[in-house]
Structure 1
Amino acid sequence: MNQKALLRIAEKLERLAGRLPSKIRNSVLRELTPLKELFLQQRPPRFLFIGSSKMPAHRIINTLFTPGAQEQMNVALMPVHRWIDWNISGHGTISILDARDAGDSATAQVEEDLRRQSADVVFLFDDGESNLARPSASNFMLHLQDDIGGALDDAKVIGVSFGSERRAAQLDEALKAQPAIRDRLLKVIQFTEMHSVETRGLLSVLAAELPNEAKIEMIRISRDREAQHHVAQMLIKSTTAICTAIGAQPIPLADLPILTSLQVMMVSGIMYISGRERSLRAATEFITALGANVGAGMLLREGARAILKFFPGWGNVVCGMVAGAGTYAIGRAATAFFIGGVSLRDARRKYLADRKKASHKSHWSHGSLGGSKSIE
């Protein structure tokens, strides 16, 4: 599913929301915010490298972002002191600005790139030889302190020590002693050439701390199952709430295309979170497969859902609950299949069970549209 198709769906939703009662309209728009951040504003996470280490950038990237993988990166065309995108083992993309050895002549270029695109996380490298007790001898720390409130905006900080465990602890103390860094510091890690458990943990921290628009790429790279499930559930929650609100409105038959588009978008999003490519066709085929054994019963339910829209009051409430229950069940089945790795047969069973269970719960009514504003 390309960006133009997603944009059309978002525009249709916003137009439809304009016709809803104000209370429901505001709730729908709130639920739409994380969906737009995930799909329309999605971008690679941006990492700024500064500090005293002279290790080549590709070796750092291999160790921190591809634990357990063979080195595959081609560094022949690596630009200096500019943002550059790195494809991480085909799973996702990150942007790196390596400013560790930026002298006076390159400082202006670094600052220009940071003004154009601010960093999400600053990796501050310590070679294990600088005098941490005297900030004047640690130019990279002073540089960070000067810029952290300007071109770096709300960037978080991760310290990386190439020294001993004791040296890493000293770096942690030195960074926490600086007010401009203390509240932004996520952690200090001890760098090793081994693909350690700590580097895997780092990917999980990044997936949790990055802004919504940069989360998905990091989750695809880290393949953190817990993070995948968390974001998928938030995606299901927002989509279900929107479908419930739309399904409860007295506009017979007209909402079916937008409901279907939302459900397909939700499934394609779960596919992408799992590490696959987004595909409108594959998402549609999956949804169709879920209903393959439901047959005429499925069609009758959807037909009844549309017919009930002609009866005001209770008919609208029932329709909203049916739309929400179906969307929720599809999302849960997609999560089980694409992220959990269950068989299609088991996913279909889960769909039927969750649909039946959700249809009996009243929290899919418009009162549940408080929703989350972000995926955190």
Structure 2
Amino acid sequence: MNPKFDEMQKRLTHIGNLNHYIEDLMEKIPGNLVSDKQRKKLLEAITDDDDLSVLLDGLKNPRPPRFVLVGRTGVGKSSLVNAMSGKYLAEVSDVEIGTKEARKFTYESDGQVYFEVIDTRGTGESETFDTNAEDELADVVREFHPDALLFLQKATERAHIDKDVMAAKNLMDKTGGELPLVAILTHIDELNPSRIKEPDNYPAEKLSLIREKTDQLARIFGEHGVATKAILPVSSYIEWNGTGEEEEGSADGNPSIAFDGRRGIEELLDFLEENLDVRAAIHLGLTVRLNRIAIRISERFIKIFSALSATVALSPIIATDIAVLLTLQSILLMIIAYLSGRELEFRTARELLVSLGGVGATGFTLRMVAQQGSKFANLFFPGAGSAISAGIASGGTYAIGKAAVAYYLREVPEDQLGQIVKDARREFEEQQEEK
């Protein structure tokens, strides 16, 4: 096992028990800042948030992503899985799953399961594939509870696409029509000029062919009325050391990468992490992109705590939410710092909050005054002042969280945080305008 993996999983599990974690953090908050009643209300607001509950369940109970793979022999299913993990994974076939038209695999390395997969090897390929077989396969897929159906099509081939698309459509229909479909155009490295494998050196003609093939696949799906979540072109081309008798692998004995020709894999992983069940997304980040999982989780906390800040600020009672908002933002900072491997005292978090104001303590105080002052509008237009205050509080929490991620997880120098705060506020405002 990877020690960094174990340490990060330990941190995530600890934060996943947020009730206890928040209680621990609350003990660090000076008693003269928030009352016992405010502590209770704040804890209720945090733990009653549905989005946060889903995230916490994912932190405590991550599980391998489950995919149904649709594609013909030679389309590059195992190569894609290896490219996604960056490891030469072992294909471990499980027990019989009730149909000859598919096999269930786990992809593993050093005892760690990366993916669980049903390979529908018979779909669209066999001339004898009948309705009974389709029904059996649909039953197996439903019991598997997959996160997505990955439809793989080789970029250099055009034959059989219509038939394969219809097979995928039938499978989706028979499983309830809710299974998200991601189309993946594989082997883009083999498009002309095929000799050029370096992903950063693809010439214009190769890039043009990739766009043409992607558009072609999109048209075919559209013609058959099949909705896709995305159509992503990728190259899974990797040359491995340690797969032959005389080759040496990595220090742990596993094959290592001798040449990396992957392209589009990061985009695929980004898409999956954003769209998978949160438990699967967290597991994917832990196993495949450990250095980015803390940032991903922090981004989720920023979104949730920004919304909670708006809820706190909507209190119509003037000047009662300053301390609670400060506490909420401090907790967000402490969580992000903890994800980086550091533990903050509340006093340190509060001082950092002030410095993240962009212009020091004065700027922080002025924003708080502006926030509370806006509530006087409630005397004339009930609710209007609180709505303004909520926007300020939510945007401020968003900016503070972004700056904390930059400082603790991206190691951005402290003197650049002021600009990050300004950029984050502008980004937040743009997001609000788009809603």
Query: Which TM-score band applies after superposition, normalised by the shorter structure?
Result: 0.5 to 0.7
Q: Residue 70 of structure 2 aligns to a residue in which SS?
A: strand
Q: What CA deviation, in whole Å up to 9, does each residue of 1:260-287 have, x standing for no partner? A: 356535763x57xxxxx848x8454598
Distance 1:94 1:284, change over 3 A: farther
Counterpart-to-counterpart distance in 2, 1:160 and 1:88: 30
Q: Which of 149, 174, 184 lines up with 2:173 in the alignment?
A: 149
Larger Rg: 2
Does residue 1:196 correspond to 2:261, yes or no? Answer: yes
Q: Report 1:221-236 matches (<5 A).
A: 221=288, 235-236=301-302
| Structure 1: runs of 5+ lacking an equivalent | 18-28, 272-276
Q: What CA deviation, in whole Å up to 9, does each residue of 1:206-262 have, x standing for no partner? A: 24762573655556645898x998986675355234224414523987995786356
Q: Residue 178 of structure 2 aligns to a residue in which SS?
A: coil
Q: Residue 53 of structure 1 aligns to a residue in which SS?
A: coil
Q: Residue 48 of structure 1 aligns to a residue in which SS?
A: strand
Larger RCO, structure (CA 8 Å, separation 6 or more): 1
Distance 1:322 1:33, change over 3 A: same
Q: Residue 97 of structure 1 aligns to a residue in which SS?
A: strand
How far 1:106 sits from its partner (Å)? Answer: 10
Distance 1:233 1:76, change over 3 A: closer
Q: Report 1:292-371 matches (<5 A).
A: 313=376, 327-328=397-398, 330-343=400-413, 345-346=414-415, 350=417, 354=421
Contact 1:208 1:215 in 2 (8 A): yes
Contact 1:156 1:186 in 2 (8 A): no
Letter of the structure 1 residue corresponding to residue 412 of structure 2: V
Q: What CA deviation, in whole Å up to 9, does each residue of 1:147-169 have, x standing for no partner? A: 12342524123234459427987
Q: Report 1:66-77 matches (<5 A).
A: 66=85, 69-71=86-88, 73-76=89-92
Distance 1:371 1:6, change over 3 A: farther
Q: Which of 203, 206, 215 lines up with 2:271 in the alignment?
A: 206
The aligned counterpart of 2:18 is 5
Q: Residue 80 of structure 2 aligns to a residue in which SS?
A: helix
Q: Which of 312, 319, 332 lines up with 1:246 in the alignment?
A: 312
TM-score (normalizing by structure 2): 0.51
Q: Residue 193 of structure 1 aligns to a residue in which SS?
A: strand
Contact 1:264 1:283 in 2 (8 A): no
Counterpart-to-counterpart distance in 2, 1:287 and 1:331: 17
Contact 1:126 1:161 in 2 (8 A): yes
Q: Which of 158, 177, 186 lines up with 2:220 in the alignment?
A: 177
Counterpart-to-counterpart distance in 2, 1:341 and 1:260: 24
Letter of the structure 2 residue corresponding to residue 52 of structure 1: R
Q: Which of 140, 153, 167 lines up with 1:112 in the alignment?
A: 140
Q: What CA deviation, in whole Å up to 9, does each residue of 1:16-63 have, x standing for no partner? A: 59xxxxxxxxxxx9xx56545544457654322122226896543112
How far 1:144 sits from its partner (Å)? Answer: 1.0
Identical columns (%): 15
Counterpart-to-counterpart distance in 1, 2:267 and 2:421: 35
The aligned counterpart of 1:96 is 117
Counterpart-to-counterpart distance in 1, 2:136 and 2:20: 36
Counterpart-to-counterpart distance in 2, 1:99 and 1:352: 51
The aligned counterpart of 1:61 is 81
| Structure 2: runs of 5+ lacking an equivalent | 1-13, 23-39, 97-102, 124-128, 193-208, 240-259, 379-384
How far 1:202 sits from its partner (Å)? Answer: 3.8
Distance 1:198 1:124, change over 3 A: same
Q: What CA deviation, in whole Å up to 9, does each residue of 1:99-118 have, x standing for no partner? A: 33589889736633435514
Letter of the structure 2 residue corresponding to residue 157 of structure 1: V
Q: Residue 143 of structure 1 aligns to a residue in which SS?
A: helix
Counterpart-to-counterpart distance in 2, 1:228 and 1:171: 33
How far 1:3 sits from its partner (Å)? Answer: 3.1
Counterpart-to-counterpart distance in 2, 1:57 and 1:47: 11
Does residue 1:51 correspond to 2:79, yes or no? Answer: no
Q: Report 1:130-145 matches (<5 A).
A: 131-132=159-160, 135=163, 140-145=164-169
Q: Residue 177 of structure 1 aligns to a residue in which SS?
A: helix
Contact 2:147 2:277 in 1 (8 A): no
Letter of the structure 2 residue corresponding to residue 149 of structure 1: D
Counterpart-to-counterpart distance in 2, 1:148 and 1:75: 25
Does residue 1:122 correspond to 2:150, yes or no? Answer: yes
Counterpart-to-counterpart distance in 2, 1:191 and 1:370: 38
How far 1:350 sits from its partner (Å)? Answer: 2.7
The aligned counterpart of 2:243 is none
Distance 1:141 1:371, change over 3 A: same
Contact 1:243 1:324 in 2 (8 A): yes
The aligned counterpart of 1:187 is 232
Counterpart-to-counterpart distance in 1, 2:151 and 2:332: 35
Distance 1:87 1:181, change over 3 A: farther
How far 1:196 sits from its partner (Å)? Answer: 2.7
Counterpart-to-counterpart distance in 1, 2:420 and 2:77: 50
